[in-house]
Amino acid sequence: MVVTEMYHRSNVDSWATAANDTNTKIRFISVDKERLTLDLILLDNLIDENTKLVAVTLASNVVGAITDVERIAKREK
């Protein structure tokens, strides 16, 4: 399971609880603090052939960042 740190804690905590309940490893796409966008540099290390779920937000309602969902879906650098 891969989620983003850009989510509100209520959403992240729900995914973390689900991962814990199902003994699933959870990985996080971090936020580039300078650009206030998701840091996709390590995307291929986070999403691999064993990943079953990727949950990202399309747009942040806090900073207005738009997520490159197509890149995440394709896992391209």
Q: 């399971």: which residue's tokens?
A: 1
User: How confident is the model over 15-71, as pLDDT tens digits?
Assistant: 999 999 999 999 999 989 898 889 999 898 999 988 999 998 888 877 888 999 999
For the CA atoms of 31, 65, 14, 55, the dihedral, rounded to the nearest 10 degrees, stands at: -90
Residue 34 belongs to domain spanning: 2-74
CA distances from 69 to 4, 21, 26, 38, 54 (A): 12, 27, 19, 10, 10
Phi-psi sector, 75: left (phi>0), alpha (psi -120 to 50), beta: left
In this prediction the pTM is 0.81
What pLDDT is recorded for position 19? 93
Say what the pLDDT of residue 7 is.
76
Structural domain count of the chain: 1
